[in-house]
Amino acid sequence: MASDHDFNRKSFTTGHTGFGIPFATWPDRADVPRNAARPLRYLDRYIFVKQGEVFYITEALSVLEGIERGPAGNTSLTAAFALAQEMDEDQTIIVQETEYTGAGKHPMPQISFAKQNGIEVLIGDTEEEKPGQNIIFPDSPGRIKVRDFDLNKARTSYVKNAVNNYGKKEISKEDFDFIVKDAKTNDKFVTEALEELGVSVK
């Protein structure tokens, strides 16, 4: 995301993890440290969808419901579409829009932009999609599915950021307890992560 070249090759805002992972693993990068926006405290699952799948759902929403939104705003809707297929009929899923909704990022110019930047636009198996190389629209709704991200990787990264960004080799029990809650994990997980970093608890 920090590279203009890579960002452009990925062709539009759904081709990267956006701000989700960076802010989950270090929420204090914001202007207000120890703010209330601390995603790991509340996450039970973190999932990914493919660019072509998001564009498919964007078009479906437009055709079926007459609602035009930017593709990035439909990322959560795409994930919900896949998750709903795992749920019982009497269950409900609530979707919150993601960033850039209605920000003028119509899908057609984005697809044209992708083609102009050498991105191959195909229809088929979305599992074969490679960001920066191609965009594959699913050839059927059944192709749309979620891919799980290991939250323990994010938790480990969070612990590392929590100590390294302040140059700590020793932390207080109060800070230790805060990290455990902030990472939504347990004492053993944080202790092992700190030991690997050579950080002790006083």
For residue range 103-126, list pLDDT tens digits in order. 456 778 778 878 887 889 999 999
The pTM assigned to this predicted structure is 0.80
Q: What are phi and psi of 70, to 5 degrees?
A: -65, 145
Provide the H-helix boundaries in 3-136: 4-10, 20-25, 51-65, 75-84, 107-116
For residue range 7-38, list pLDDT tens digits in order. 555 555 444 455 778 889 999 887 787 788 89
For residue range 170-196, list pLDDT tens digits in order. 999 999 999 999 999 999 999 999 999
Query: What's the pLDDT at 81?
Result: 95
Query: What's the pLDDT at 99?
Result: 57
Are 131 and 51 spatial neighbours (Cβ–Cβ below 8 Å)?
yes
For residue range 125-170, list pLDDT tens digits in order. 999 998 878 899 999 999 999 999 999 999 999 999 999 999 999 9
